[in-house]
Amino acid sequence: MANYDKDTNERIGDFLDGNLDSAGQKSFQEDLRKNKAIQSTLDLHKAVEETLSDKGEAALEATLRSMRKPTTQVKVRRIQPKWLAAAAAVAVLVVAFFLFRPTDTPTALTGPIAAYFEPGQMEITQMGGNAEALLTEGQQAYNQADFPLALQKLQAYLAVDPEHENARLFAAKSAIASASFDQALNLLFYFDSISSLHTEEVTWLKALAYIGSNQPEKAKPLLSALQNGTDAKLKAQAEELYQELY
């Protein structure tokens, strides 16, 4: 891997965040085709960001180790220091983004749920047809923490495709992040009538929405149910929040 290049990494960050205009995207894509080092750094950015989003910092080291597996011991001694230096630089940038991105929007959460709500990154399969642009715009707004705009775009998309469960989940998360708790609950009630793989996550989001809307008694049975669930992380969070509130 090439030595760490601040300008290249900033371009990659802008590319992943959707901040490049059409000319910038075209130029970046051309550089990707010509320069394998840039492609490798882009892959590293994605791996680091996905690991932090999905599993947290504890899993980052394992991901980096798996990506640098060499074919010979000679290659280990030759590439490891340079690779680790570049990986560390990228990791610092990504961690800084997660820890220090602005949160002081007019709809920033307050109260007990602020410490428990984790929006994460939105990554869902793009759909064809006329509504695809709405889903793409919603995803971009969500990942830039513009949750009111994400909610608007995703609700418009759901008007066309109301059965898209992941889009509905992220719309509900956008509503919670925007402190629009009644909207979040209305989006989540849809799951009451279907069999879904997201049952425990939906239960957790409902509990947060009820607490955010000053209806903690309605959240109480939901948190109790999660304490008997199968998701270890949600179980621990539900137990902690239950003890804090009741």
User: Does 180 share its domain with 73?
Assistant: no
Q: State yes or no: pLDDT of 204 exceeds 90.
A: yes
The pLDDT-based confidence of 15 (bands split at 50, 70, 90) is confident
Q: State yes or no: pLDDT of 14 exceeds 60.
A: yes
User: Does 184 share its domain with 205?
Assistant: yes
Mean pLDDT for 67-74 is 43
1 part of a folded domain = no
Give dist(CA 105, CA 180) in Å, integer. 14
Q: State yes or no: pLDDT of 210 exceeds 70.
A: yes
User: Does 165 share its domain with 53?
Assistant: no
Give dist(CA 43, CA 67) in Å, integer. 10
- Contacts of residue 165, Cβ cutoff 8 Å, sequence gap at least 6: 191, 196, 198
User: Does 144 share its domain with 91?
Assistant: no
User: Does 116 share its domain with 224?
Assistant: yes
User: Does 25 share its domain with 64?
Assistant: yes
237 part of a folded domain = yes
Q: State yes or no: pLDDT of 214 exceeds 70.
A: yes
Write down the pLDDT at residue 102: 43
Which of 36, 68, 100 corresponds to the end of one domain? 100
Write down the pLDDT at residue 80: 47
Write down the pLDDT at residue 167: 93
The pLDDT-based confidence of 8 (bands split at 50, 70, 90) is confident
Write down the pLDDT at residue 193: 87
- Tokens 């990228």 appear where? 90
Give dist(CA 162, CA 180) in Å, integer. 19
At 4, phi and psi to the nearest 5? -60, 130
The pLDDT-based confidence of 1 (bands split at 50, 70, 90) is very low
Residue 10 Rama label (left phi>0; alpha psi -120 to 50; beta)? alpha
Q: Mapping DSSP to helix (H, G, I), strand (E, B) and coil, where does residue 98 land?
A: helix
Q: What percent of the chain has pLDDT over 90?
A: 40
211 part of a folded domain = yes
The domain containing residue 59 runs over which residues? 6-100
Write down the pLDDT at residue 4: 43
Question: Which is higher by pLDDT, 146 or 125?
Answer: 146
CATH code of 228's domain: 1.25.40.10
Write down the pLDDT at residue 50: 61
Mean pLDDT for 45-53 is 62
Write down the pLDDT at residue 69: 47
Q: How many domains does the chain have?
A: 2
105 part of a folded domain = no
Mean pLDDT over the full length of the chain: 77
Give dist(CA 84, CA 68) in Å, integer. 9
Write down the pLDDT at residue 93: 56
106 part of a folded domain = no
- Contacts of residue 51, Cβ cutoff 8 Å, sequence gap at least 6: 59, 60, 63
Q: Is the pTM of this model over 0.85?
A: no
CB atoms within 10 A of CB 151: 27
Mean pLDDT for 36-42 is 76
DSSP 144-173: TT-HHHHHHHHHHHHHH-TT-HHHHHHHHH
User: Does 224 share its domain with 125?
Assistant: yes
CA distances from 25 to 11, 31, 127, 133, 179 (A): 10, 10, 22, 17, 34
The pLDDT-based confidence of 225 (bands split at 50, 70, 90) is very high
Write down the pLDDT at residue 109: 74
Mean pLDDT for 12-25 is 77
The pLDDT-based confidence of 65 (bands split at 50, 70, 90) is low
